[in-house]
Amino acid sequence: MADPLVGLVLLPLGWATLAFVLGPGRGAWAALAGIAAQAWLAWLLAAQVGAGGTARHAVGGWGAPLGIDLAADGLSAALLLLTQWLALGVALYARSYFAAGDPARRYFWPLAGFLLAGLNALFVANDLFNLYVTLELVGLAAVGLVAAAGGERQIAAALRYLFAALAGSGLYLFGVALVYGVYGTVSIATLAPLITPEAPRLVWIAGGLMALGLVVKSALFPFHFWLPPAHGGAPAPVSALLSALVVKASFYLLLRLWLGPFAPLAPAAAWLPALLGAAAIFWGSWRAIRAERLKPLIAWSTVAQLGYLFLIFPLLAVPAAFGAGVMQVFAHALAKAALFAAAGVFIQATGQDTVAGLAGAAARLPVTLFAIGLAGMTLAGLPPSAGFLAKWQLIEAALALGHWPIAVVALAGGLMAAVYVFRVLRQAFCLAPAGAPVAAVPRALEWTAFALAAASVLLGFFGVDLMTLIEVRA
Amino acid sequence: MTSGLLFALVGVALFALGLAGLVLIGDVLRRILAFNLMGSGAFLVLVGLAQRNGVPDAVPQAMVLTGIVVAVAATALALALARRLDAQREGALPEDEDG
Amino acid sequence: MSMHAWLPLAVLASSLVPGLVIFALPESWIGLRTALNLLGALVKLVLVGLLLAGVAAGEQYGFRHAVLPGLELAFKADALGLLFISLSAVLWLFTTLYAIGYLEGAPHRSRFFGFFSLCVTATMGIAMAGNLFTFFVFYELLTLATFPLVVHRGTPAAMHGGTVYLAYTLAGGAVLLAGIVWLHHLVGHTEFAHGGIAAALGPQYAGQLRIVFLLLIAGVGVKAALVPLHGWLPRAMVAPAPVSALLHAVAVVKAGAFGIVRIVYEVYGVEFAQSLGLLFPLAVAAAVTIVWGSLRALFQDDLKKRLAFSTVSQVAYIALGVALFGPIGTIGGLVHLVHQGIMKITLFFCAGNYAETLGLHKVSELSGVGRRMPATTLAFSIAALGMMGAPLTAGAVSKAWLIEGARAAEMEWVIGVLWTSSLLNAAYFLPILWRAWFRPPPAAWPDEHIPARGRRETAWLLLVPPLVTAAAVVVAGVFAAADWSPLAWAKLIAAREYVTPQ
């Protein structure tokens, strides 16, 4: 386990199994220890990649094509870092959250472990087929997490999510089959020089199908239908993991293929994701503004925030656009995990999750309220948060290429986000109905939510470090 | 037309059929079947296209094997969820429910 | 880190740190909270004093931190920034004292004072911003930190006022951001520099630069309450009196006006802005705001609302001074930044005293209040006379320099605007004074909270701040020629802005 690449994939598999055997109580400690070790490994890897270029490992000493090569460049290292540290925060939160005896606690730790193993493997996988397997692993673990609470609503949402995920990965797999049929390889490195704008039509179709499949899994408008019930219905720690990380995995893959082997074909379709992204921003924000309950509000906000990620595709000719995409992934992941965590605090405190019902509780849970405020700053792209840096880079890239409508969409989306964020925040200042019962909530819940939110803002001061890391390309 | 191409074309048809079923059908069990059809189509294309030169290629076979494992796992999960959903809707919990 | 780098940061920290600690304090720890507040305010005054001495001697203070490749948070303490910093630091101390008295026994005081400190921190950041990007960061932080103060009371009216405030300022922020990124794209940076940075671009960019100027001025114009972007200010007067003081005198509208000054002088450069033909429309917008604000003030019976419209009008003097091409108008505008601050804060302190002590909110209720609360009414009268530009007050100094500036810039119509404004000021302030001093008091006051005890008409924490600031109004007027007056500092800035060392 000397190699961080291997450790990051095997450790979560190990503690997931252990947590299943030990049960939720002691299993949580195994998981926390494992995630802490992963966080350390990801830190080492980022330092290694930042200092000396990409990291590579051939599993079992077998090389491609029969063996599996793991590799990490700057982008992979950055996302691995985000995943482990965010998971550490969510895990600390989940341990307290499930201590109360939630029905989902029995399956949470093993499934979370498999989810992390899948995500980590996805970030270091190096050929199209292994990426498919990791994608399925992530999808199945995520569906399991949604269903873990066992209520009728959650299971229906999980099934809906499962079918969308299977359709998405099926499309992706079909595209991979076509690519293999044409070129006889699925290695990203080997494919890169082969695919040119003169490639056979079959390759174009393959690229289109793979992109479509990934877009379905990323819940881009109009394929977002599965996301609000799944993310809005799951227990808070699950929603946090799903909204923060899982939808980003398929986006990461799309970005990697778009910038990598399919780069010669990509410009032809660049505006389509951007248009859908703009539609996602407006529709998702609108639904979030209208939402009556807190968790669906946050889930619709995810739909909107994912839209920003797709605005970058017509702008990738300038480096700021790539930076904007990665910064938005980080900003949204941290802020959204914080928001779901904060929502979980309010639900535990008041036993319900309507926005209007916060009025009594918000003033009595100031730490959580601040968490929502800081995370909200990031979502609305207000300075000095990481979300602001993402918006800045996006607008700058749009102006550099003269595509000012994208800048307008980004600014308008920020204002709409401010509307739904302040809809929640203002409840804290409304005169509270007297005698609304507020149950005691473990402090660990409040402070982990706060730490995640604070991280989403503080990252705004360290943009240079992140940008330097992701500049390291394979 | 080589047998490989024939396999591939059948694969495309199966995939399209399966996808249409997954998207259009409302019934859960039939959707699970449709997903399996879709997967089989993709596997056929993978194996079929790789056989163009008449020489079997080991790599796609390994991939299909892996793919089948994944598909079985997904099907099992889908069936388990469907069963749980049914039980919940009828108001009776399945016998293995204890937590 | 040398002292020249940490001094600006220490100015920020002197309100940020107490603010953050205060958030964490339990509601009932009044003593520690008060001590922290006053300690922060006093430390800040000492630090600002150090900066003033250094800058007057020609020292340079600055700190930079890159947040993205090619994008830096930059702080500098220069003469112009210090004008604003000194004003805010001094008024913060008095507003804090006043707020401690005003909110005695009110709920949520930790929250209030926490955000109050954040507000001042943001103002300091705005004043010390070394580029437009940094300015924007703190400009938006100011919006976020003031919202909880505006809605502090939690009543439906407060929530409505706060929502309107947010809608205006966040939309203004978005417009400002668009302008800033555009400028950054054109020039490659947004540094504040003597003589501006936009002039370096070729003439083919004139059209784009005009649009950017419009975006930037519209963005800061929301906070400066330029008509028609002023709608939030009268509605935000539902906030408690110390918050109104903060909005009108210490932080918010001042931040907008200060932004106009920075943009005209140090982003575009006043010569370049004049050559693009941008100053005349700005002067017209300011003139319209001056007259419109005064006209609306005439018809308000609610005292705080009348004061709010008066702010709309008076803050536009600053923009007007900037738009008068030439050093004399500049001096008038800059000195009014300070003078308007001390006059308007006095008026709001007094309005708060009337409301807290006797439950008086309307102009029509003020009959005879001069007999019940002579000291407060005296302070109110001095500040109101200053607003009209009466001799021996700070207002007279600003107005004299603005009129001279208009004459030097050969814009005689501006003199007409200024005289009209003075007449309108008199028309909406003199009836208040007459009513307060010469009409008989009613048999009973509407809602007397604080009974008179001997010679003391209300709580001393409510009384001292307006008396001090009213005295400052007179001192700034009488001793305008002294070396340490706001006018002297404004002259120093104007000399540095117009005689530009290349």
Domain map (residue ranges) of chain A: 270-474
User: Mutation test of the interface with chain A: which of C9, C25, C63, C67, choosing the one with the most A Cβ atoms within 10 A?
Assistant: C67
**Coarse DSSP helix, strand, coil percentages of chain A, rounded to the nearest 5 percent:** 75, 5, 20
- Cβ distance of A426 and C162 shorter than 8 Å: yes
Give per-residue pLDDT as tens, C74-88.
999 888 999 999 999
User: Does the beta-carbon distance from A415 to C171 stay under 8 Å?
Assistant: yes
Q: Token pair for residue C241?
A: 């009196």
Write down the residue that tokens 């790789």 correspond to. Answer: B50
Instruction: Give the one of B28, B60, B70 whose C-beta lies nearest to A133's C-beta.
Output: B70
Q: Which of residues 60-79 of B touch A (CB under 8 A)?
A: 60, 62-63, 66-67, 70, 73-74, 77-78
In this structure, the number of other CB atoms found within 10 A of the CB of residue B53 comes to 10
User: Which residue of chain A is at minimal alpha-carbon distance from B84?
Assistant: A155
Burial C97-116 (b: 16+ CB within 10 A, else e): bbbbbbbeeeebbbbbbbbb
CB A394 within 8 A of CB A406: yes
Q: Which DSSP string corresponds to A209-265?
A: HHHHHHHHHTT-TTS-TTHHHHHHHS-HHHHHHIIIIIHHHHHHHHHHHHHTTTTTT
- Beta carbons of C322 and C330 less than 8 angstroms apart: yes
Q: Taking the CB of residue A199, how many other CB atoms lie within 10 A of it?
A: 18
Token duo for residue A235: 């227990």
Nearest to A159 among B18, B50, B82 (CB): B82
Q: What pLDDT sits at residue B95?
A: 46
* Chain A residues near residue C212 by CB distance under 8 angstroms: none
CA diameter of chain C: 72
Which DSSP symbol is given to A342? H
Q: What per-residue confidence (pLDDT) applies to B5?
A: 84
- Do the domain assignments include residue C221? no
C-beta atoms surrounding A284 within 10 Å? 28
pLDDT of residue A1: 43
CB of A159 less than 8 A from some CB of B: yes
Q: What is the pLDDT of residue C317?
A: 93
- Interface contact B15, partner A, CB < 8 A: yes
Predicted structure pTM score: 0.94
Q: Is A122 at the interface with chain B, CB within 8 A?
A: no
CB contact (8 A) between residue C73 and residue A384 = yes
CA C133 to chain A, closest CA, distance in angstroms equals 10
Count of pairs with CB atoms under 8 A, one residue in A, one in C: 85
Interface contact B8, partner A, CB < 8 A: yes
B21 touches chain A (CB under 8 A): no
Question: What is residue C288's predicted lDDT score, i.e. its pLDDT?
Answer: 95
**Residue-level pLDDT at B99:** 36
Query: Tokens 């009613």 identify what position?
Result: C442
Q: Which two tokens stand for residue B62?
A: 């390994």
Nearest CA to CA, how far is B19 from chain A (Å)?
7
Do the domain assignments include residue B97? no
- Exposed, middle or buried by CB within 10 Å (0-12, 13-18, 19+), for C156? exposed
CA distance A244 to chain C (A): 23
Helix (H, G, I), strand (E, B) or coil at A162: helix
Q: Is the pLDDT of residue C500 over 50?
A: no
Contact B45/A136, CB-based, under 8 Å? no
Q: Does A162 touch chain B (CB under 8 A)?
A: yes
Residues 6+ apart with CB under 8 A from A377: A385, A387, A388, A421, A457, C144
Domains in chain B: how many in total?
A: 1
Domain that holds residue C393: 288-502
- Does the beta-carbon distance from B81 to A158 stay under 8 Å? yes
The residue behind tokens 């909107």 is A304
CA C94/CA C110 separation, integer angstroms: 18
Domain assignment present for residue B39? The answer is: yes
Please write the tens of the pLDDT for every residue from C147-156.
999 998 888 8
Minimum distance, in Å, between the CA of residue C208 and any CA atom of chain A: 12
CB A461 within 8 A of CB A385: no
Q: Which of A366, A395, A414 sits opposite C181 (nearest CB)?
A: A395
| pLDDT confidence of residue A67 | 72
Per residue in C477-487, is it b (16+ CB within 10 Å) or e — as a string? bbebeeeebbb
Collect all residues of chain B within an 8 Å Cβ-Cβ radius of residue A150. Answer: 84, 97
Separation between Cα atoms, residue A142 and residue A161, nearest integer Å: 9
B59 touches chain A (CB under 8 A): yes
In a domain, C385, yes or no: yes
Answer whether A430 sits within 8 Å of C163, measured CB to CB.
no
Cα–Cα distance measured from residue A242 to residue A127, given in angstroms and rounded to the nearest whole number: 24
**Is B37 contained in some domain?**
yes
Contact A453, A362 (CB under 8 A): no
What is each CA distance from A166 to A155, A338, B19, in whole angstroms? 16, 29, 10
Chain C: give the shortest CA distance to residue A18, in Å.
40
Interchain contact A21–C (C-beta under 8 A):
no
Give the model's confidence band at B52: pLDDT under 50 very low, under 70 low, under 90 confident, else very high. low
- Cross-chain CB nearest to A396 (options C108, C159, C181): C181
Q: How far B39 CA sits from the closest chain A CA (Å)?
A: 6
User: Of C137, C140, C181, which to mutate for an interface test with A (greatest number of A Cβ within 10 Å)?
Assistant: C181
Average pLDDT, chain A: 92
Please report the DSSP string for A2-23 in residue order.
-SHHHHHHHHHHHHHHHHHHH-
Q: Name residue A293's beta-bridge partners.
A: A354
Residue A70: helix, strand or coil by DSSP?
A: strand
Query: CA-CA distance, C62 to C73, in Å (whole number)?
Result: 11
User: Is the bond leading into A110 cis (omega within 30 degrees of zero)?
Assistant: no
Digit-coded pLDDT (tens) for B53-63: 667 778 888 89
User: Are the beta carbons of A430 and C159 separated by less than 8 Å?
Assistant: yes
Average pLDDT value over all residues in chain C:
91
Which other chains touch chain A, taking contact as 3+ CB pairs less than 8 Å apart?
A: B, C
Q: Do C181 and A389 touch (CB under 8 A)?
A: no
Q: Within an 8 Å CB–CB cutoff, is residue A212 touching chain B?
A: no
For A:54-93, CB contacts with B below 8 A are: 65-66
**Distance between CA atoms of residues C330 and C333, nearest Å:** 5
Q: Is residue C469 in some structural domain?
A: yes
Among A225, A244, A254, A215, which residue's Cα sits nearest to residue A145? A244
Q: Contact C432/C385 with Cβ under 8 angstroms?
A: no
- Whether the CB of A264 is below 8 Å from some CB of chain B: the reply is no
Q: Give the β-pairing of C61-68 and A69-72.
A: unpaired
Residue of chain C whose alpha carbon sits nearest to that of A370: C23
Q: Are A439 and A351 a contacting pair, CB within 8 Å?
A: yes
Is the Cβ–Cβ distance between A39 and A91 less than 8 Å? no
CATH of the domain at B70: 1.10.287.3510
- Taking CB atoms and an 8 Å limit, are C154 and A429 in contact across chains? yes
C389: left (phi over 0), alpha (psi -120 to 50) or beta: left
Mean pLDDT of C268-282: 91
CA–CA min distance A410, chain C (Å): 10
Q: At what angle do helices C412-438 and C279-298 cross, to 10 degrees?
A: 20
Using the Cβ of B19 and the Cβ atoms of chain A, whether some distance falls under 8 Å is answered with yes
| Closest residue in chain C to residue A419, using alpha carbons only | C167
Identify the three-state secondary structure at position C388: helix
d(CA C326, CA C315): 19
In a domain, C373, yes or no: yes
Residue B12, both tokens: 């495309």
How far CA C435 is from CA of A213, A269, C17, C291, C367, in Å, comes to: 76, 73, 45, 24, 5
Taking contacts as CB-CB distances below 8 angstroms, the residues of chain A near B18 are 170
> CB-based burial of residue A93 (10 Å sphere; 0-12 exposed, 13-18 middle, 19+ buried)?
buried
Residues of chain A with pLDDT under 50: 1
Inter-chain residue contact A392 with C68, CB threshold 8 Å? yes
| More confident: B8 or A392 | A392
Chain B environment of A174 (Cβ under 8 Å) = 15, 41-42, 45
Asked if A400 lies within 8 A of C141 by C-beta distance, the reply is no
B4 touches chain A (CB under 8 A): no
> Is the per-residue pLDDT at C491 higher than 60?
yes
Over 60: is that where the pLDDT of B92 sits?
Answer: no
Query: Which of C16, C68, C243 to substitute to test the interface with A, most A CBs within 10 Å?
Result: C68
Provide the pLDDT for residue B98. Answer: 38
Structural domain count of chain C: 1
- CB of A23 within 8 Å of any CB in chain B? no
Q: Per the omega criterion (within 30 degrees of 0), is the bond before C327 cis? A: no
- Assess contact for C469 and C393: CB atoms under 8 A: no
pLDDT reading at C502 higher than 50: no
Identify the domain containing residue B44 by its residue range.
3-90
Report CA-CA distances (Å) from A47 to A461, C5, C53.
19, 30, 45
The answer to whether the Cβ–Cβ distance between C185 and A396 falls below 8 Å is: yes
- Residues forming a β-bridge with A55: A72
With contacts defined as CB-CB under 8 Å, which chain A residues touch C155?
431
Q: Please compute the mean of the pLDDT values over residues C414-428 and round it to a whole number.
A: 93
What pLDDT does residue C192 have? 93
